[in-house]
Structure formats: C-alpha cells, structure tokens
C-alpha cells in the first residue's frame, strides 16, 4: 500500500475514532472533515449539511424572508436558524434590512455557487426526475434556453444567475400550500426578491435586531393615543 505524502496517521485515526463514537452513542456526525485537507472537504463543511444547499437554491429563487424559507422548505426553525448562521458566518449570505425584519441575500461569494446549483439540478433532472425537469432556465436578454453548462442556446454566451429567468418545466407538480411554490409557478428572474402572494409578517419571521442590541419586538396593530384594548 502506498501512502500519500500528506497522510497523517494521527489525524486519520482520530477522525475514524470520532466517527465511530458518534455512531455508537447515537450522536449526530460532526460537520467537519478532520484529516481531509482538500478544497472539496472545506467547501462541504460550509454547504454540505442537510438543508443548506436547498436554502442556497431558494435564495437564488429570490426567497429572502425567514418565514418564506420556512414556508417552502418545511424544516424546523432551529435548523433553519443554524444553517443561516453558518452561511452568514462563512460570507455566503448576508443579512439586510427588509420592510419590517432582517432578510437574507446571497453575497458575491454565494452567487458564485450558481454553477454548482445548476449542475446538481441538471444531474437530478437526468437521473431523478422521470416526469422531466421541474424547472427550466431562460436567458432574460433573448429568451434562449440556458443549457447544462450555463450557456444560452440562442446567443451562445454564458448566462449569470442575475440574467436568468426560472420558468416551470414539464415535471413540475401542482403547488401545495406553500406560498413560495405557488409564486414560482410563474416565470421569475433569479435573485430578484420573491414576494409570495398572501405572505404576511408572522411570528416565525426573525425580528430585526438593532446593531449591538437585542431583538426588537414584533410589530402589532397600532391604536390611537389614549385608546384602550378591546375586551
């Protein structure tokens, strides 16, 4: 057996020992790859956890509100908050002021993941979508179709995410109760804020936090000065 010059017996044995401990104790596996020094391993430590790439995908769709991520993905609030914290700490997403609460948008570093999202989507269309692609992508400039390599089949130029229109494909099922899924039954330009019809501020929306302060209370209906609450 030939060992790599970068092989570290201590790191490798510790990584195996830690993984076995997690299995035997029923614990969640760690989200890092001890002993793996390649760029793929470092990337997976940021975007490889369950739900993370789907959050990034939704951010490309234009989802920005905490409540809308919850509405579309149907994941636990604590998990969403944890994944968003990881993505913002890594510089993939940033928090920006919205109408009433903080919202999330992709940074330049996050937008650089579009070829990854597109490639994985095409792979899934090839091998996991017997009914055909759920979504298709078109070039906003000339309505040409964006191919699997991210090029417009009409003008031949590479199409960045910001110039891409997502449209329903033949494999798209009727939307469920998700406001986001319903909104995406219509063509939508990637990265433009998606405002689902009927979306309202809900307690599940993460409240805006003043710089260095605590979470501000959720805004409720106002009453004229001196008025009392209804019994």
> Residue 61's closest CA among 171, 185, 176?
185
Question: Which residue ranges in the chain fall short of pLDDT 70?
Answer: 1-28, 197-231
Architecture in CATH for domain 45-108: Orthogonal Bundle (1.10)
Check residue 172 and give its pLDDT.
Answer: 94
Q: Where are the domains of the chain?
A: 9-37, 45-108, 113-189
Check residue 99 and give its pLDDT.
Answer: 84
Check residue 115 and give its pLDDT.
Answer: 97
- Distance separating alpha carbons of residues 43 and 112, to the nearest angstrom: 12
- The residues pairing with 93 across neighbouring beta strands, listed in sequence order, are 106
- Distance separating alpha carbons of residues 225 and 75, to the nearest angstrom: 41
Condensed to tens digits (0 to 9), the pLDDT of residues 90-122 reads 999 999 998 888 999 999 999 999 999 999 999
Check residue 95 and give its pLDDT.
Answer: 97
Condensed to tens digits (0 to 9), the pLDDT of residues 197-212 reads 665 544 444 444 444 4
- Distance separating alpha carbons of residues 35 and 41, to the nearest angstrom: 10
Check residue 21 and give its pLDDT.
Answer: 55
CB 46 within 8 A of CB 87: yes
Q: For residue 19, how far is the Cα from the chain centroid?
A: 27
- Placement of tokens 């017997």 in the chain: 130
- The residues pairing with 188 across neighbouring beta strands, listed in sequence order, are 166
Task: Report residue 183 as tokens.
Answer: 């909104």
């Amino acid at each position: 057996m030939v060992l790599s010059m970068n092989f570290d017996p201590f790191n490798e044995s510790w990584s195996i020992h830690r993984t076995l401990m997690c299995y035997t104790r029923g614990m969640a596996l760690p989200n890092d790859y001890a002993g793996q020094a390649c760029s793929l391993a470092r990337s997976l430590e940021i975007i490889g956890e369950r739900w993370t790439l789907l959050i990034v995908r939704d951010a490309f769709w234009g989802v920005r509100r905490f409540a809308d991520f919850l509405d579309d993905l149907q994941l636990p609030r604590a998990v969403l908050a944890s994944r968003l914290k990881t993505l913002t700490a890594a510089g993939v997403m940033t928090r920006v002021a919205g109408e009433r609460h903080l919202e999330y948008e992709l940074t330049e570093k996050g937008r650089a993941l579009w070829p990854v999202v597109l490639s994985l989507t095409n792979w899934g269309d090839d091998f996991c979508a017997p009914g055909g692609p759920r979504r298709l992508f078109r070039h906003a400039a000339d309505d040409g179709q964006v191919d699997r390599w991210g090029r417009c089949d009409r003008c031949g130029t590479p199409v960045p995410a910001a110039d891409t229109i997502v449209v329903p494909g033949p494999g798209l099922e009727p939307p469920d109760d998700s406001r986001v899924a319903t909104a995406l039954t219509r063509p939508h330009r990637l990265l433009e804020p998606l405002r689902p019809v009927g979306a309202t501020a809900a307690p599940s929306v993460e409240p805006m936090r003043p710089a260095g302060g605590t979470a501000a209370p959720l805004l409720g209906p106002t009453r004229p000065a001196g008025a009392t609450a209804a019994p």
